Structure 1
């Protein structure tokens, strides 16, 4: 990595945004930090090749690393206790309700919702990022949104009536 200042500037400028995305993917502050760090280590190794569009590379690395992690820890419980979440709601009660509901989704469901609705990826883009079919993305999105409606009916405005 010859352009250390460019890498440092990228990390400084985009680190907080990447950390929020990682938190939404993992549901755990500490895992989110590890996820960003692992992706940035990969980016640092390949900086010469990716320096023109590093954020796309880092995000893809985070998505893939997170998938690897959930395959290894399918049955572990994650905690959202210690992190001030980046939920879109400014109302603290609504934010806590959303956090609690997201915590009860499976890691795959949570990841699909983050990519589709926080990262604003299409079904096809989400499927490509996760290495699954777009039909699986549709199905998981539908199931996750239905589960959110059951877990937190007060979030109906955020979840949408016809999703």
Structure 2
């Protein structure tokens, strides 16, 4: 790799690694160590093709999605590990009730199946269209729709504040953007 490409890659990692790590944490269900491993693998793969990549962030995100799907397939029968400490976020200006809702949502996301969590993260945190989620997860669009429906229903049961009777203005208290987690 040319020195200029190496410097470009290093700058990209310095600027975008926090947001990419937050995405990886979401994909791994809150497992910070697995998220760090997932991001490291994605960045290693991107480094090898850096000179040919035109949209680096999109490329790395796609690697993250596909690598995590591959992990799920390989570890289908392995028990999921959860961690008691939530990853850091930018936080918000909300009060204690917002924090409690965020904590409850994180815990509820950890209780979804791997596929349900992937669909929720890709559809609602990454805001991808159903067709793109289906392509990334290599399943039909109908499966994405039904999984999203069941996942949201399960989240509403686990966190009643998300339901129609609860605080509907905060159905998505955590949104993911290129600047990180927002409240």
TM-score, normalising length: structure 1: 0.90
- Taking the TM superposition and a 5 Å limit, the aligned residue runs for 1:73-112 are 73-74=75-76, 75-86=78-89, 90=94, 91-112=98-119
Q: In 1, Cα distance between the equivalents of 2:88 and 2:112?
A: 16
Q: Equivalent residue for 1:29?
A: 32
How much is the aligned-residue C-alpha RMSD, in angstroms?
1.8
| CA positional deviation for 1:150 | 1.2
| CA positional deviation for 1:121 | 0.3
Which residue, out of 17, 31, 46, partners 1:43? 46
Query: Which segments of 5 or more consecutive residues in structure 1 lack a partner in the other structure?
Result: none
Residues 1:124 and 1:147: Cα distance change in structure 2 (over 3 Å)? same
Is the contact between residue 20 and residue 61 of structure 2 (CA under 8 Å) also seen in structure 1? Answer: yes
Q: In 1, Cα distance between the equivalents of 2:156 and 2:116?
A: 14
Which residue, out of 56, 59, 62, partners 2:58? 56
Q: In 2, Cα distance between the equivalents of 1:113 and 1:62?
A: 15
Q: In 1, Cα distance between the equivalents of 2:153 and 2:90?
A: 19
Residues 1:63 and 1:88: Cα distance change in structure 2 (over 3 Å)? farther
Residues 1:107 and 1:71: Cα distance change in structure 2 (over 3 Å)? same
| CA positional deviation for 1:77 | 1.8
| SS of aligned partner of 1:109 | helix
Number of residue pairs matched by the alignment: 159
